[in-house]
Chains A and B, each alone.
Chain A
Amino acid sequence: MGRICAEFAEPDEALAAHRALLDEGIPSQDIEIRSPCPLPEEAIPPHRSHPMRMRNWVRFFWICGAIGGFALAAGSQLDFKIFTGGHPLVSLPIDVIIVYECAMLTGLITTLTFFFIETRRYRKMCPPREEDLPVAEGHVALVVESEEAERAAGILRQRGARSVATLAFLVLFLLAFPGCTVRMRTQPVIKSTAREGVAQPRGTVTMPGLDERKHLYGTVLGYAIPEQVRELDKKDVIVPTAVMRMKNPVPYSARSVQRGREIFGELCVLCHGVKGKGDGPVADEFQPIPADLTDPVTQQKVDGELFWRITIGPSSMPSFYDRLTAEDRFHLVNFIRSLTRK
Chain B
Amino acid sequence: MSFKAPDLSIKQIYDEVMTTVLGPRPKMATLLLMIILAAIVLHGVFQFFRQSFVGLGVTGLTMPVYWGIYIATFVFWIGVAHAGALISAILRITGAEWKSSITRIAEVITLFTLPAAASFPFIHMGRPGLFYYLIPYPNNRLIWPNFKSPLMWDFFAISTYFIGSVLFLYVTLIPDLGTARPNMKGWRKTLYTILSFGWRGTAEEWKRVKEAAALFSVLILPVVISVHTIVSWDFAMQLVPGWHSEVFGPYFFVGALYSGVAAVFTVMTLLKWRCGFKDLITPIHYDMLGRVFLALGLAWAYLFFNDFLPGYYSNEPDKMAYFRYLAFSHPYSVLFWLMFLTNFVLPIACLSFKGFRMSTVPMFLLSIGVNVGMYIERVLIVFCGTQVYNPLARNVTVYVPSFTEISIVAATFAGVTLGYMLFIRAFPILPIWELAETKIRQTVREIAGKKVYYFKSGE
Q: Using a CB–CB distance below 8 Å, which chain A residues touch chain B?
A: 9-12, 15-16, 19, 32-44, 47-50, 52, 54-55, 58, 72-73, 76-77, 79-80, 82-83, 89, 91, 94, 97-98, 100-102, 104-105, 107-109, 111-112, 115-116, 118-119, 122-123, 126, 128, 132-140, 158, 160-165, 174, 177, 180-181, 183-184
Output the least CB separation between B195 and chain A (Å).
Answer: 9
Identify which of A12, A42, A55, A138 contacts B14 (C-beta below 8 A): A138
| A164 and B436 within 8 A (CB) | no
Give Cα distance in the complex from A55 to B213, angstroms. 11
| B215 and A184 within 8 A (CB) | no
Query: Which residues of the partner chain B approach A181 to less than 8 Å between Cβ atoms?
Result: 129-130
Query: Which residues of the partner chain B approach A111 to less than 8 Å between Cβ atoms?
Result: 167, 171, 212, 215-216, 219
Query: Which residues of the partner chain B approach A77 to less than 8 Å between Cβ atoms?
Result: 147
Interface CB pairs A-B, < 8 A, 23: A32-B202, A33-B202, A35-B203, A37-B434, A41-B207, A54-B212, A55-B211, A80-B147, A89-B148, A100-B222, A104-B223, A105-B159, A112-B167, A112-B170, A119-B208, A123-B200, A126-B202, A132-B200, A134-B201, A136-B181, A137-B14, A162-B198, A180-B128
| A98 and B437 within 8 A (CB) | no
| A91 and B148 within 8 A (CB) | yes
| B181 and A133 within 8 A (CB) | yes
Output the least CB separation between A196 and chain B (Å).
Answer: 27
Output the least CB separation between A197 and chain B (Å).
Answer: 27
- In this complex, the member of B13, B143, B183, B448 whose beta carbon has the largest number of chain A beta carbons within 10 angstroms is B448
| B219 and A44 within 8 A (CB) | no
Interface size of B as a range? 35 or more
| A55 and B215 within 8 A (CB) | yes
| B10 and A115 within 8 A (CB) | no
Q: A36-B433, A79-B144, A108-B223 are in contact. List 15 more A-B contacts (CB 8 A).
A: A40-B440, A41-B203, A80-B145, A82-B143, A101-B223, A101-B226, A105-B160, A105-B164, A111-B219, A122-B208, A134-B179, A135-B182, A136-B183, A138-B9, A138-B13
| A161 and B144 within 8 A (CB) | no
Q: Which residue of B lies closest to A128 (CB)?
A: B198
B4 within 8 A of A: no
| A184 and B127 within 8 A (CB) | yes
Output the least CB separation between B403 and chain A (Å).
Answer: 24
Give Cα distance in the complex from A158 to B181, angstroms. 11
| B160 and A76 within 8 A (CB) | no
Query: Which residues of the partner chain A approach B9 to less than 8 Å between Cβ atoms?
Result: 9-10, 138
Q: Which residue of A lies closest to B454 (CB)?
A: A40
| A16 and B147 within 8 A (CB) | no
Query: Which residues of the partner chain A approach B200 to less than 8 Å between Cβ atoms?
Result: 32, 34, 123, 128, 132-134
Query: Which residues of the partner chain A approach B445 to less than 8 Å between Cβ atoms?
Result: 12, 40
Give Cα distance in the complex from A162 to B190, angstroms. 12
B256 within 8 A of A: no
Identify which of A38, A80, A101 contacts B210 (C-beta below 8 A): A38
| B129 and A184 within 8 A (CB) | yes
Give Cα distance in the complex from A80 to B179, angstroms. 52
| B160 and A138 within 8 A (CB) | no
Give Cα distance in the complex from A33 to B10, angstroms. 16
| B144 and A80 within 8 A (CB) | yes
| B196 and A161 within 8 A (CB) | yes
Give Cα distance in the complex from A332 to B188, angstroms. 86
Query: Which residues of the partner chain B approach A82 to less than 8 Å between Cβ atoms?
Result: 143
Give Cα distance in the complex from A15 to B452, angstroms. 12
A-B interface, 9 closest residue pairs, ranked by CB to CB distance from nearest: A180-B129, A37-B436, A138-B10, A163-B198, A138-B14, A134-B201, A101-B156, A38-B206, A37-B433
B204 within 8 A of A: yes
| B167 and A109 within 8 A (CB) | yes
Assuming the A-B contacts A101-B156, A134-B181, are A72 and B136 also in contact, with contact meaning beta carbons closer than 8 angstroms in the complex?
Answer: yes
Residues 206-236 of chain B: 1 if any A CB is under 8 Å from the residue's CB, otherwise 0? Answer: 1111111001100110110010001000000
B273 within 8 A of A: no
B455 within 8 A of A: yes
| B455 and A40 within 8 A (CB) | yes
Residues 222-254 of chain B: 1 if any A CB is under 8 Å from the residue's CB, otherwise 0? Answer: 110010001000000000000000000000000
Query: Which residues of the partner chain A approach B199 to less than 8 Å between Cβ atoms?
Result: 134
